[in-house]
Amino acid sequence: MQEKILKLCRRLKKCTLDEVVQFSEFEQNETQKNLDNFVSNGDLVFSEGVYLYCFEPDLKENGQKISALCNNFILILI
């Protein structure tokens, strides 16, 4: 169940609780718990009623590790 919800969020990139419940056909309470768990793990970000999927492709350039996060935000780590 958790894998299906995360996969759905990954494909949608941003979604609401109602959208996830509608597409996954799981119960709202269980879906809410799973989404909250993903937020606490850092897989999703919750902002203004919308869940955003976070991705972290690692790119190396000139010895710097660049991790892309959510919605065009870029964090550069040295």
For residues 38 and 6, the answer to whether their CB atoms sit within 8 Å is: yes
The DSSP output letter for 72 is T
CB hemisphere CA count around 31 (13 angstroms): 19
For residues 6 and 43, the answer to whether their CB atoms sit within 8 Å is: yes
Q: Hey, what domains does the chain have and what are their CATH numbers?
A: 2-77 (1.10.10)
Q: pTM higher than 0.75, yes or no?
A: no
pLDDT in tens, the chain (78 residues): 888 999 999 898 889 999 999 999 999 999 999 999 999 888 888 888 899 888 765 444 444 444 444 444 444 443
